[in-house]
Chains A and B, each alone.
Chain A
Amino acid sequence: MPPIALLAPIVLPVAAAAVAAASSRLGDQIARIAAASGAWASLGAVAVLWIAVRSTQELSVGPLGFGVGLDLRLDGIAVVFGVIALVPAALLLTLQERGWQESTVALLAIAAVVLAIESGNMILTAVGGCTAATLAVVQFDIEDVRAARPSWASVIIPWIALAWAGVTLQIESGTAVYAAVPVSALTTQIFGLVAIAALLGAGIVPWRGWAVGMWMRPSLRVASVTAATLLPLSLYLLVRAYELGNGLFPQSWLNLVLAAWGVLVALGSAIRAQAAPSRAEYMAETVQGLAGFALMSIAIGTAVGLFAGLILLGSAALVTAALPLLPDRRGPAALLVAAAAAGIPPGLAFGGRVLGLADAFETGNAFGLVAVAGAATWLVVAAAAARSVGLPAGRRRQASDALALVAAVLGVMVLASGPAVAALASLATDAIAGVMALPIGGLAADPFSIITVSTRLPAAALFGPLLLLGAAAVALSKPGPTTTAAQSRAPLFTVPGIAVLTAMRERLRSLKVPQQYRSLFDPAAMEAVAAGGRPVLWLASLVALAVAVTR
């Protein structure tokens, strides 16, 4: 496979975007077909490139002019994240009705995400990420300019931070190429910038950030594609940080802080979910909850934890693809997707959470406390999911039965693929080995079980029979009575102090300059003075400059 082929996963969606834009006069259907083809082609190209060689491939086209070269590198971890990002994106572009403009911009955003993932150096990753974030904002405005969308600044900040981290690496170690940066160059400060990029790039915050708010828009077309692509891209940065640090973060306390942050994110999401007044608001929290657990697992700093994080990201990807396809009405599809996201055994999310929590316990020290908090959070997630079944829809979106069926199938896939978690581990072993050392005996001794420090997870032997028994038993069972929405609306609990914080925030927002002092802060008057071309101001400035320089 010639190295130039590494451009294919990026070029194909761009070409498809060109086709989609060119076919604008022929109606949106052609653009939709082009969009779907472009996304699937990119995914196919990644798969073919990896399967053909099954080892890291690199392409260096030469310097671009701003201190970085067009260095592309497709290694195992890039393939894993590429698949996690592209599968739901391709599904959504295939199933959702889009205008040609949205399709075109979505394809360009997908190409940017693939560029960021395939990039061999940090600055190019920042360029790709910033492009994807900008195009996401553009998509939001194309979809519905009146609806709430992430502020542009909030999605750009992380990529500026990453670019800064990249240039700092260049200054301190002479390069920002992932494979060439010396281990000692990853200082706490640089890692801090990378961590900021990772957390803010996908809005992984304990409070209700844009990553949750975007799911409350009237239409979920853009929110779903954005979540599907930006979430894995952001956490991908932490995985690359492991590669830079030879499998470690600069300080072990950084692992603990990030893991605790992940649990806080999941807990915040669960607390909001258990008080959600509608199913739509509950569903808006599901991806964020999974992201929190994925962050916790990845941050632990072990191969098992990283694998658990990947499993949870995979689950989040499928849930992200399912959410916008759900109809408003209650039914098996909503129940299955909620159950899949909540981590009902023996689902994929269940396996990922169990592995993550087990790994945290086995890491010891304060990670054990983080694990207890994580387990408690998981129960709150379960309670919120249970409560959500009886909630009112909360949105007036129409989704066809066919789409609801696809959503149900995606939910079933998450629930049914728990037994395959060990097989996935044996597939991901090479990818994980590329960024950190594997435990002695590897991640999975065989495709049926995963080895942790103190236990072994018999995924196939235990979850397989449980899945079969469960499927048979549920098929033979009789559904219970339906709930009344009125009962379900009450939150399970309220966090003390939240009301006080909200009141304080409102008070801060309502602060204004007193009337009698407003004239002092009149921007229009200041502008008139500055832009009036007044010699007195110029002379005063000249004197000020002279004083400033001659002191």
Chain B
Amino acid sequence: MEPELAVALPAVGAACATAFKPRPRLAFASAAALGVAGVVAVILSRADLTSDQLGIPLTLSPASRAILLAAAAALAILVALPPPRADRSNLLRWGLGGLAGMTAMAAAPSLGLGVIVLLLLLVLQASGTGHRVYANRFRAPALAVVLLALAIALAAMQGPSLLTRLIVVCLVAGLAAALGVLPYMHEFDPDEPTAVSPIPWLAFVGPVLAVVVVGRAEAMVEGAEDAFGALLIGLGLMNIVVATLATWRTSSDAAAWRYSFIADWGLALCGLGLVVPDGVGAALLVFYSILLGRLPLYLWSRQSLREKATTERPINFIVAAALAGSAPFAGFPARILLLRAATSLYWPLALVLALSFLLWLPGSLRLGRTIGAPTGRQLIGVAVALALSVAFGLFPRPLLGLAGL
């Protein structure tokens, strides 16, 4: 019963937050209580437990479960220490809605059902009040859904090996389009509320979606695993190089933050493409650092981004180091795992990756400055994010163990 509850409770929580909007306290209390209950259900949904209460077997894989917990933790941090001008119940509404969808995608027995849930999430997000044209908000995720659906349809057919390779293309391109990484970047408006911007695809829903798609893809790309890995690595490298340089050089600080998420995704895609456990572990650590580091820091920087206030205080440099993936922060062990995975497969790839790690530095210095001079709850939040990053950077074993690695 746990997976069903893990989906239903946050969904009901989001619904309560919406329904009780006129009474913010009640909305917050009910959504928070149901959200906590949903997280408990996720914790209780072990990989070896399959529930069939609704007529379909629902299971949470260890990796999905670990990322769901990290996403829930990120949401909890953001609700406990909300960014300036952010409404807690609104944060909860969007966060719990996303969490319910992510859990449903992760628990779904087939990729098809997962994609249907993805489609629902995309419609829900597009229905929010944003600054971008409605069609533009819709377009890229909808393309992702179509491409993934095409992959499922092609997988249901038999044919020449070319067919499997087309499935590979549809899966990888669909995943990239859903995330909004290169070459399928979503349109971005710096002034748009984060919940309806492309950021949630990159920083909240994306990790679970990637784990689900890559996990389900194994059966669909039989015989073309090499092409699947190579395509993921190729896209990953392209995203690393372009996005790190763009983070450094782009004119808008908010856009720089968006590119920095994409650059991290480059690392994750390389890790997923390397298919060995070290690569997957690296990708998971990148996901953790996105969810528990980069996303909260981005949200806490929004105020100073609006005010265009950049400072050069110690906290800015330490945040920059954390964002750059330097030791002792969480990015460094991810990079070490990636290096080992790449070296074990093809050492020139490790060389390219090692050199690419340096591209994070200039952009991260820029992003660190945009945090401004945090005070009060923001300062506590930044300190918590940095502390978590150091803890995972020095001792990531519990996180990887949680994901079954």
Contact = CB atoms under 8 A, between A and B. Distances in A.
A112 B354 contact: no
B336 A67 contact: yes
A376 interface: no
Contacts of B362: 152
A171 B339 contact: no
B234 A167 contact: no
Interface stretch (B7-15, B69-77, B83-91, B160-168): B160-168
Contacts of B255: 531
Interface in B299-335: 312, 314, 317-318, 321, 324, 326-328, 332-335
B234 A145 contact: no
Interface in A492-548: 523-524, 527, 530-533, 535, 537-538, 541-542, 545-546, 548
Contacts of B134: none
B165 A549 contact: yes
Given A65-B399, A167-B343, A134 B183 contact: no
Interface residues of B, number: 70
A533 B249 contact: no
Contact of A545 (B169, B224, B327): B169
Interface stretch (B44-52, B103-111, B184-192, B204-212): B184-192
Contact of B327 (A63, A127, A546): A127
Given A66-B281, A142-B314, A161-B354, A549 B227 contact: yes
Contacts, number: 153
Interface residues of A, number: 51
A163 interface: yes
A152 B230 CA distance: 31
Among A67, A160, A524, the most chain B Cβ lie within 10 Å of the Cβ of A160
Contacts of B186: 533
Interface in A55-74: 63-67
A523 B246 CA distance: 9
A65 B395 contact: yes
A338 B140 CA distance: 67
Nearest to A63: B397
Contact of B162 (A131, A542, A550): A550
Given A127-B328, A548-B234, A550-B166, A524 B251 contact: yes
A160 B357 contact: yes
A66 B333 contact: yes
Interface string A107-146: 0000010000000000100111011001001100110010
A545 B227 CA distance: 11
Interface in B122-163: 136, 139-140, 143, 147, 162
A105 interface: yes
A52 interface: no
Interface in A164-182: 164, 166-168, 170-171
A533 B177 CA distance: 10
Contacts of A542: 147, 169, 173
Contacts of A535: 139, 143
A511 to B, nearest CB: 19
Given A530-B183, A530-B242, A171 B344 contact: yes
Contacts of B187: 531-533
Nearest to A535: B139
Contact of A167 (B182, B183, B340, B357): B340
A168 B339 CA distance: 9
A63 B227 CA distance: 33
A160 B140 CA distance: 37
Interface in B376-403: 394-401
Interface in B318-372: 318, 321, 324, 326-328, 332-337, 339-340, 343-344, 347, 350, 354, 357-358, 361-362, 365
Given A141-B312, A535-B139, A545 B339 contact: no
A117 B192 CA distance: 49
B281 A538 contact: no
A475 interface: no
B59 to A, nearest CB: 25
A538 B183 contact: yes
Interface of A: 63-67, 101, 105, 112, 123, 126-128, 130-131, 134, 137-138, 141-142, 145, 152-153, 156-157, 159-161, 163-164, 166-168, 170-171, 523-524, 527, 530-533, 535, 537-538, 541-542, 545-546, 548-550
Given A66-B336, A523-B245, A549-B230, 8 more contacts: A65-B398, A65-B400, A127-B394, A142-B317, A157-B358, A160-B354, A166-B336, A541-B173
18 contacts: A64-B396, A112-B327, A126-B327, A134-B326, A138-B321, A141-B312, A156-B326, A156-B357, A163-B336, A164-B350, A167-B340, A530-B183, A533-B136, A533-B139, A535-B143, A545-B169, A549-B166, A549-B224
> Which 8 A-B pairs rank lowest in CB-CB distance, beginning with the nearest?
A65-B397, A533-B187, A130-B327, A66-B333, A167-B340, A541-B183, A65-B396, A131-B327
